[in-house]
Amino acid sequence: MNLNQVHSFLAITKTLNFTAAARQLGIPQSTISRQINDLEGQLGVRLFYRTKRDVSLTDEGKTFLPFAREISEAADKGVRAVRELHEGGAGHLSVAVAPACERFVCECLDAFHEKYPDIIVDIDRITAGYTLMDNLDSTRDFYFLYSDMFAAGDEYDSMITHSEAIGIASGKALMDGSKDPVDVIPERDVILMSEESDPILYMQAMNFCRTRRFTPRIVNSFSDTGALMLALRSGMGVAFVPASLIEGGDEAIDFRPLDDDSYSIRCIAAWKNSLLNPAASLFLDILREKAR
């Protein structure tokens, strides 16, 4: 078995089409067919059902799939580790973070950098609507996201990190000092993160309004938290936001957390259970300590 065979197998599982997989890998279809035939011969089983119209995984192919992913991932991380060592690096860590998880991740990375200052850390922001499943992107070492957006499976471990409070935010110019922000929502224009970008926050906001028996006057929704915060500061409306977005205070925004904890958002960290990256193992120790 070789890596080319594994890569060909994985490409076909994604496309379920030999021609498309060959195009994706930049090799002739005859080459990818030969690699799969050779791999099946070495394993002594058929990995795909093949007809003139359809390609599908056999039970043996489904069993082999997670191991093939692990082989490919281990090879990629091995290449990266060798290159970093050759270039004088001490290690590399990558994390993906949803907006409401940023405060917790900041605490973890601060402790990690203090302890391992030479390890390079890559940080990607993902939308709160990002769903992590076994068959999706596995290029980062850790994912910080809402628990409701994590589809548990055999390939990932996870832990609850914290619960994020939700509150009402508004530009101070919109607020009547004699009223609680919660009480003015029915009277004001409402701006929100879009349901697609942050389905959990959107659902919690709608549930709150439904409980208070009013329909919010939604004038705009945003796919980016930065745009939402700019709209808030500009006095365009009131919004439901996670408390961490107002961390440190903002003179242009009045924020009041909702008293009911049932409207909070539970956040988790998820990582591949193989955890082949040594830097990721070091970070996991700090993650577990901070999540206590």
> How does pLDDT run across 83-142, given as a tens digit for each residue?
665 554 568 899 999 888 888 999 999 999 999 998 889 998 888 776 655 444 567 889
Q: 28-32, 62-66, 242-246, 247-251: which has the minimum mean pLDDT?
A: 247-251
> How does pLDDT run across 156-210, given as a tens digit for each residue?
889 999 998 898 888 765 555 555 656 778 888 999 999 888 888 999 999 999 9
Q: What is the pLDDT of residue 250?
A: 66
Beta strands in 47-115 (DSSP E): 48-50, 55-57, 92-97
Helix (H, G, I), strand (E, B) or coil at 120: strand
Domains of the chain: 3-72 (1.10.10.10), 90-163+266-290 (3.40.190.10), 166-263 (3.40.190.10)
Residue that wins the pLDDT comparison between 90 and 41: 41
Contact 97, 123 (CB under 8 A): yes
Contact 124, 99 (CB under 8 A): no
Q: What is the pLDDT of residue 88?
A: 47
Q: How far apart are CA 283 and CA 109, in angstroms?
A: 8
pTM, 2 dp: 0.66
Q: What is the pLDDT of residue 60?
A: 93
